[in-house]
Amino acid sequence: MSLTKRSLFHRLTWPWTHYIITNLAAFSAYLFFHLLGRITIIGKEHVPQKPNTLLLSNHQSMIDSFLVGTMAFFPNSIVHKCLLPWNPAAQENFYSNPILGWFSDNWKCIPIRKGRKDVGAIFTMASALRQGPMTFFPEGTRTRDGSIGKPRGGAGLLILETQPTVIPVCIDGMQDVLPIGAIFPRPFKRVWIYFDKPLDLSEFYKQGTSKQVAKAIMTHAMNRVRTMRSELEEIKQKDKAFAGKEVFDGKKSNSQKVQF
């Protein structure tokens, strides 16, 4: 659950509280992005609805995991508890006080110590990933302008340890929903989320489990996310031609679902 020790009561109630709180958070995120915003979802059909699925996404805001996890697995997570995704999270941000720490535990966060060189967290994440899907932001920090930064090596080591189904994810617009320094998300913003097909990493697995291989995996994965960003820009330009037209279920809606 987390690297920090919890009381017996907390451990006994967590299987129920995390199911309720995480699904309530996912439901709230679903309503927010679909009713109070304009969201376009691309490629959700590429996301396996099963454990040991790793979503590797670029990072733009503090609530990116709610967007990625909700759009990938909700509402299936209501029926299939194992689809509530795990979320590695910066300990200094999500565990800064006991109340926030309790909520973070129940959001299935895994605290990562400041500096991110947290070997113990890798083993915790590997154990969690085998039990359910996980969202991961390899950059390790948010970008102010929406650009995609260099990946850290932790996710590569995690991939070598668990050999999951790796789905590259590219998001855009979240830096406007919750800019750095903002407390509350801003409604009525345009958001895009693009799920790609699973990466074929078989050639990397043949090369061993060194840090160099882990780094090569992450370079490969993030290069794909950057390519997706370029593809997304092209799709956004085309989307302007469909302004006012429906793409989702043939009805008027604030959300769109695009096949790619």
Among 41-45, 51-55, 147-151, which stretch is predicted with the lowest mean pLDDT? 147-151
Per-residue pLDDT at 146 exceeds 80? no
**Count of alpha carbons within 13 Å of 232, Cβ hemisphere only?**
23
Q: How confident is the model at residue 161 (pLDDT cuts 50, 70, 90)?
A: very high
CA distance 231 to 29: 26
The strand ranges marked E within 113-222 are 134-136, 165-172, 190-195
Distances (CA, A) of 26 to 20, 131, 164, 167: 10, 19, 23, 20
> According to DSSP H, which parts of the chain are helical?
8-35, 64-73, 76-79, 91-94, 98-106, 119-129, 154-162, 174-177, 202-205, 211-239
Cβ(68)–Cβ(169) below 8 Å:
yes
Domains of the chain: 17-196+203-235 (3.40.1130.10)
- Give 181-203 pLDDT, tens digit per residue: 898 999 999 999 999 999 999 99
Lowest mean pLDDT among 3-12, 167-176, 213-222: 3-12
State residue 245's pLDDT score. Answer: 54
The pLDDT of residue 256: 53
Over 60: is that where the pLDDT of 23 sits?
yes
In contact, 195 and 220? CB cutoff 8 Å: no
Residue 244 has pLDDT above 60, yes or no: no
Residue 204 pLDDT > 50: yes
Would you place residue 116 in the very low, low, confident or very high pLDDT band (cuts 50, 70, 90)? Answer: low
Per-residue pLDDT, averaged over 243-251, amounts to 48
Q: Provide the whole-model pTM.
A: 0.87
Tell me how far the alpha carbon of residue 173 is from its chain's centroid. 15
- Cβ contact 67:195 at 8 Å: no
State yes or no: pLDDT of 252 exceeds 50.
Answer: no
Gap between the Cα atoms of 54 and 130, Å rounded: 10
pLDDT at 30: 95
pLDDT tens sequence across 44-76 = 999 999 999 999 999 999 999 999 999 999 999
pLDDT confidence tier of residue 219, bands split at 50, 70 and 90: very high
The pLDDT tens digits of the residues spanning 76-95 come to 999 999 999 999 988 888 99
